[in-house]
Structure 1
Amino acid sequence: MTTFAVHGIGRPRRALDPGEDERWITVEQFDALLDVVARGGAQLTFDDGNSSDVEIALPRLVDRGLYAEFFPLAGRVGERGYVDQDGLRQLVEAGMHVGSHGWDRHDWRLDSPFAVRRDLDEAPRLLEQLSGTPVRRYSLPEGRFDRRVLRHLRDAGATRVYANVGGARGVRAATLVRPRTEIRWDVNTRWAEAVSRRPRRWAGRWTPRSSW
C-alpha cells in the first residue's frame, strides 16, 4: 500500500520556514487526495503537527471513516500554527495514531549525542504525556536516515519508521522502515491515483507538475 506524507493544508497560521511552502496544499487539493485514498490502495500520514491537522484534516478523515497517522514535532507543540495538547488528544480520541517527528526539523544523521537523546527519548516521552498514548512510531525529518539512525531507533523501541522514497540506500531491506511518497504543492488527482496503484518500493521522489 502506498503511504502519502502530508504536511500543511490551507492557509498557514504561522510564518513558514524556507522552502516549507512547497509542502503545503490547498483544501481543495486535500479533498481530492482524500477521494483517491478512500478508493483504496493508499493511506495518509501527517508530519510536523501543523494546526491544519486538527482544523482541516481530522474532521474530513472522520467524515469519510479514514484512519491516518500524525507525527508532530514535539518541540513545537502549542506554538502558533501548530497543534496543542487538546489537538493531540482530539486525534487520539478520533482513533488516529500519534507518533514522533522528533523535537524539531533537522536531519537526524547529523545529530550530536545530546540531540539523539532529545529526538529519540525526550520527544516521544513528551508526546506520550500530552497525547495520553504510547509513542513508538517515528517519521524521519526530511525522510533521511543511515545505519546509525536506524540503530538508535531500534534502541529507542521504535516499532515503525517512515522514510521518504529513495532515502534508504544501503538499508533497504530493513523491515522497520516503511517508504512514503511526499505530497507537494503541485499534486494532482491523476498523479496520486497512478502512485497509489504502483507497488510499494524504494524509488526516486515523485514530483507532479500540474494542478487539480
Structure 2
Amino acid sequence: MTSLAGINFHGIGTPQRDLEPGEGPYWLSLRQFHEVLDRIAAAPDPTRFTITFDDSNLSDHDIALPALVERGLRGRFFVLTGRIGQAGSLGTAHLRALSDAGMTIGSHGIRHVAWTGLDKAELARELQDSRTQLEDICGHPVTEAGIPFGLYDARVLRGLQAAGYTAAWSSDGGRFRQDAFLRPRTSLQGSMNSSDLDAILSGRMAPLRRLRRAVGMVRKRWTVIGP
C-alpha cells in the first residue's frame, strides 16, 4: 500500500490572538505557506500528501481555505471547540464554510491541553463533547482527531477508539499507511529552510532518526503516561 506524508500547519501570517508559550515558532509567513502548497500542488501525485491544520486559528479560514481551493487541494482542520468564536479563532460560520468547501473537520479537543495528563473522565469529555459540538455545527459525523502537542499513550489511543474516532493524527513525523489508525505528521516551523522542506516532502529521514521514531511510537502505543 502507498505510504502518505502528513504535513501539519498551525498559524499563518500575523496572529490575531495572544500566542501560548512555545507556539510562535510554528507560525509561517504567507510566503512560506504558499511555497509549501505550490510544491505539493506541483508534485507528480499531490494526493500522497495530507495537509492538516491544528488549533483552529482564524488564518485557517481567511488564508488557508482560499489558497487550498485555488490549487485544487484539500485539508483537514482540527478544531479546539473551547476557542470557537473567540478573537483570532474560527467561529461557527467559518467551520461551516470550511466543511461546505469539502474540507474535513476534526477535533483537537476542547482546551489546548495534553491528553496524557487527564484522568478518565476529563479525557472522555475532551474527546466526546468536542466531537458532539462539531457534529452539531457541521451537520455530519466527525471521525478524526488531531492530538494536542502530539502527546499520546496507550490510554489516549484507547480513549479515541472508544469515542468512535477512526483516525488519530500525531506529530511523530515520517509517513503512514492510509488504513492506519495512528497517522504521524510533520509540523512545519517558520525557521525551516528549503533543504528542510525538501527532506520533509521527499520523505527522507536519516536511518538513526527513523529507528528512533519507530521505537518511540511503539513505546507510546504500549505504555501509559497519564493518571
Bucket of the pairwise TM-score, normalised by the shorter protein: 0.7 to 0.9
Q: Give 3-state SS (helix, strand or coil) of 2:142's partner.
A: coil
Cα displacement (A) at 1:65: 0.4
Whether the 8 Å contact between 2:124 and 2:163 is mirrored in structure 1 is no
User: Given residue 58 of structure 1, which amino acid in structure 2 is its aligned partner?
Assistant: L
User: How many positions carry a matched residue from both structures?
Assistant: 198
Q: 2:36 aligns with which of 14, 33, 36?
A: 33
Counterpart residue number, 1:44: 51
TM-score normalised by length of structure 1: 0.87
The 2-side partners of 1:199 and 1:99 are apart by 28
Counterpart residue number, 1:83: 90
Whether the 8 Å contact between 2:166 and 2:181 is mirrored in structure 1 is yes
Higher share in helix: 2
Whether the 8 Å contact between 1:6 and 1:47 is mirrored in structure 2 is yes
Q: 2:202 aligns with which of 190, 197, 202?
A: 197
Q: CA separation of 1:30/1:203 partners in 2, compared to 1, >3 Å: closer, same or farther?
A: farther
- Cα deviation digits, residues 125-144 of structure 1 (max 9, x gap): 01111122211100000111
Counterpart residue number, 2:8: 5
Cα displacement (A) at 1:112: 1.8
For structure 2, the residue ranges without an aligned partner over 5 or more in a row are 174-178, 214-227
Whether the 8 Å contact between 1:179 and 1:202 is mirrored in structure 2 is no
User: Given residue 182 of structure 2, which amino acid in structure 1 is its aligned partner?
Assistant: V
Cα displacement (A) at 1:113: 2.7
Q: Does the alignment pair 1:187 with 2:172?
A: no
Whether the 8 Å contact between 2:54 and 2:79 is mirrored in structure 1 is yes
TM-score normalised by length of structure 2: 0.82
Q: CA separation of 1:88/1:202 partners in 2, compared to 1, >3 Å: closer, same or farther?
A: farther
Counterpart residue number, 1:116: 123
The 2-side partners of 1:175 and 1:61 are apart by 25
Q: CA separation of 1:79/1:109 partners in 2, compared to 1, >3 Å: closer, same or farther?
A: same
Q: Give 3-state SS (helix, strand or coil) of 1:44's partner.
A: strand
Cα displacement (A) at 1:194: 2.0
Q: Give 3-state SS (helix, strand or coil) of 1:104's partner.
A: coil
User: Given residue 31 of structure 2, which amino acid in structure 1 is its aligned partner?
Assistant: E
Cα displacement (A) at 1:202: 7.6
Q: Give 3-state SS (helix, strand or coil) of 2:192's partner.
A: coil
